[in-house]
Amino acid sequence: MKIRGKIPLLIVAALAWIVIVSSCANIGMPEGGPRDSIPPILMGTSPDYKALNFDGKNVKLTFSEYLQTDEISETLVISPPLEKRASIKTKSKTLIIQFNEELKDSTTYSFDFKNSVVDNNEKNPIENLRFSFSTGPVYDSLRIAGRLVNSFNLEAIEKGLVLLHSNLHDSAVFRVRPDYIAKTDIDGLFMIDNIASGTYHIFALNDLNNDLIYNEGAEEIAFVDTLIIPTVEFHEELDTLVKGVDSMMILGHSHFHPDPFYLRYFMEDIFDQFVESTERQTRNKCLFLFNESVADTFDVKLLNADSENWQLFEYNKKADSLVMWITDTMVSRQDSLFMELSYYLLDSMAERYVQKDTLLMKFSEPKVNKKKKKKKKNKDEEEKPEPIPQFNWENSISSTMELNGVIKLTTPEPVEYFNDEMMNLYLVSDTLKTPLKFKSTEDASAYRSYTISYAWEPEVEYGFSIDSAACMNIFGISSRELDKKFKAREEDYYGTLTFNYSNIKMPMVVQILKNNDEEEVLRQMSFEKDGEVLFEYLPPEKYKVKVIYDQNGNGKWDAGSFQDKVQPERVAYVQEVIKIRSNWSESYAWDLTPDKAFSKNIRDLELEAKKRKEAAEKAKKERESESKSSPFKPGNTGAGSSSFQRQQ
């Protein structure tokens, strides 16, 4: 065959070969393979770990992998602290920490990376990486450790700053940079190591402006009442299993003193008065918000009007906010009112003086939509008189009344008079509406509020009414009629909770809290001696329980004072969520001997059991699924599979 005749066949063969090769050699992502879970390995350092007489300008740490440095600059703590922030960079697999100032002579420096050193691909961290060296001939190796929590709710404080001062003057924390520092981890734990021998004060701050000093009234603080002298002891342990000819191996461990510290954050209550905001909400109503209480110190004077007895003040419970009602219509008609506020401040010697502020309070009527057309009246239609204005009662009455519940009534404006004899509580089944005797009190915790109390009978229907014009406000407007019906809840809906307390050494407060992060207080009782405390009529819910060691006996938790060297009042929690069931009683014994290491690890045992059950069921289903699909299942002789039977 001539070569010309073979060319078409050669072309076809070549094309076929290209198709076959290209289909067999497509480039794709590799499949399978375990995920990299191994953190970088520290291969070498410059200087060496625990090196002496270091006088370099930087520290180099070389790893087995490339690193990500995003978290290092934010997390790394260098102690003693530097005046200028160190520069952090990488070169190949080496982490470089460049100093921007001269290091102190004869000082041991420690570097706490925590978990910030991670590889570049999977971000696997080296846990709790630390490094240290000395700029002198001595390597300091003392240490202290502890935990930092919020004093009010015992929650761990993460990234809290812990300070160690060798300057023992009380003002040092306000003015001097600390000798050593550390930051807490996610569990509130901290350790300051490489400390020199000496005597120290320890503090913790939430250092908002990163200046390493305490800004009183703006930052939280924790402190220890006593001086700290770090020491270390070596405890020998003779190993009788490893012997030489005439000797025995001596092992042991170092025990650092003092024992761990338990620091409790609190915000110091420093008097710092100022006007937060002012607002004229209506023609008759002005709102003033202050940073501190103004009880018995506040006054307002009109500068552009001449009037006496023109205002009425209402203070909130803390007296740091108040509502001013303008009772003179000649004054309230003015769109702009110039006022002079007077209240007390403290001077630099903590002496009171009167501060006067001038302000303009404006009010403009809301715009009316003029496009709305008025309804045309028929010629024969008589004009109806304008209705007499009346206000509505705000009330808490719903269709179901809790057996320990109360009726709350609130008026929108201050009251001139209220005839409580025009109120009536009666049984719905009583056609004569015979009045029942109830207790009516003014609620001191809320503006213009009244509380109606009665011993409700389970599952009984009640009616409550207030006659029209029973109440008149300061503007001469009377109240509308109120008529409500409701039914008391069944008694077996509730559960009870009893605590048997022991070792009570001071007044105590026990609180039933909502089972959420906010821990809203639902019930509260005070007690001063060992014995039972009973909570009745608890709805079937889950609750947290907290006690306050109420040293001053005022029925509430109080923060501490660094100025007066007073620690915040201690608190403690039941370490499990308590579930109350309907028609059921729960009882707990609780030893309240104070413990400085009070912790908070509240477990929901019911939720944990549910999760374990769900996990077990999931694992069972997976095993069954794997068993059904396994090619090695006995009896499975389908194509591409094999079967075997274990020989006995």
In the predicted structure, residue 6 carries a pLDDT above the cut 70: no
Report whether 540 contacts 582 (CB < 8 A). yes
In a domain, 105, yes or no: yes
- The pLDDT of residue 633: 53
CATH code of the domain containing 284: 2.60.40
The number of folded domains in the chain is 6
In a domain, 241, yes or no: no
pLDDT tens digit sequence for 98-110: 999 999 999 999 9
Token representation of residue 237: 């342990």
Q: Are residues 500 and 596 in the same domain?
A: yes
Rounded to an integer, what distance in angstroms lies between the CA atom of residue 585 and that of residue 344? 52
- The pLDDT of residue 248: 53
Report whether 190 contacts 212 (CB < 8 A). no
Q: Are residues 523 and 590 in the same domain?
A: yes
- The pLDDT of residue 366: 80
Mean pLDDT of the chain: 88
DSSP output for 512-576: EEESSSS--EEEEEEE-SSEEEEEEEE-S-EEEEEEEE-TT-SSS----BTTTTBPPPPEEE-SB
- The pLDDT of residue 337: 94
In a domain, 642, yes or no: no
In a domain, 484, yes or no: yes
DSSP output for 109-148: EEEEEET--EETTT-PBPTTEEEEEESSS----EEEEEEE
Tell me which of 67-76, 286-295, 619-628 is least confident. 619-628
Cis peptide before 258 (omega within 30 of 0): yes
Q: Are residues 485 and 498 in the same domain?
A: no
Q: Computed from CA positions of residues 238, 242, 248, 250, in that sequence, does the dihedral angle turn out positive or negative?
A: negative
In the predicted structure, residue 390 carries a pLDDT above the cut 80: yes
Answer with the one of 466, 489, 512 that is the final residue of a domain: 489
Percent of the chain having pLDDT more than 90? Answer: 73
In a domain, 380, yes or no: no
Report whether 507 contacts 528 (CB < 8 A). yes
Token representation of residue 561: 């004072």
Token representation of residue 525: 């009782």
Mean pLDDT of 252-258: 85
- The pLDDT of residue 641: 35
- The pLDDT of residue 430: 94
Rounded to an integer, what distance in angstroms lies between the CA atom of residue 61 and that of residue 96? 7
Q: Are residues 124 and 212 in the same domain?
A: no
The residues near 332 (Cβ < 8 Å, ≥ 6 apart) are 283, 284, 326
In the predicted structure, residue 159 carries a pLDDT above the cut 90: yes
Q: Assign 372 a pLDDT band (cuts: 50, 70, 90).
A: low
In the predicted structure, residue 500 carries a pLDDT above the cut 70: yes
Q: Assign 249 a pLDDT band (cuts: 50, 70, 90).
A: low
3-state secondary structure of 183: strand
In a domain, 3, yes or no: no
Mean pLDDT of 610-627: 90
Q: Are residues 518 and 531 in the same domain?
A: yes
Q: Are residues 612 and 559 in the same domain?
A: no
Rounded to an integer, what distance in angstroms lies between the CA atom of residue 643 and that of residue 535? 66
Q: Are residues 507 and 594 in the same domain?
A: yes
- The pLDDT of residue 645: 39
- The pLDDT of residue 629: 74
- The pLDDT of residue 636: 46
Main-chain dihedrals φ then ψ at residue 320, nearest 5 degrees: -100, 0
Q: Are residues 436 and 530 in the same domain?
A: no
In the predicted structure, residue 154 carries a pLDDT above the cut 90: yes
In a domain, 213, yes or no: yes
Answer with the one of 446, 472, 489 that is the final residue of a domain: 489
Q: Are residues 99 and 62 in the same domain?
A: yes
The two most distant CA atoms of the chain are separated, in Å, by: 130
Rounded to an integer, what distance in angstroms lies between the CA atom of residue 308 and that of residue 325? 14
Q: Are residues 503 and 482 in the same domain?
A: no
Report whether 69 contacts 35 (CB < 8 A). no
The residues near 336 (Cβ < 8 Å, ≥ 6 apart) are 304, 360, 361, 362
In the predicted structure, residue 342 carries a pLDDT above the cut 60: yes
From the list 206, 334, 335, the residue with the least C-alpha distance to 267 is 206
Report whether 229 contacts 182 (CB < 8 A). no
Tell me which of 351-360, 417-426, 625-634 is least confident. 625-634
Report whether 568 contacts 560 (CB < 8 A). yes
Please give the residue range of the domain that contains residue 336.
275-362
Main-chain dihedrals φ then ψ at residue 39, nearest 5 degrees: -70, 165
Percent of the chain having pLDDT more than 70? Answer: 87
In a domain, 211, yes or no: yes
From the list 288, 356, 339, 342, the residue with the least C-alpha distance to 316 is 288
pLDDT tens digit sequence for 260-308: 999 999 999 888 888 999 999 999 999 999 988 888 789 999 998 888 8
Token representation of residue 85: 């922030």
Q: Is the pTM of this model over 0.75?
A: yes
Q: How far is CA 485 from CA 424, 427, 463, 491, 521, in A?
A: 12, 9, 4, 19, 29
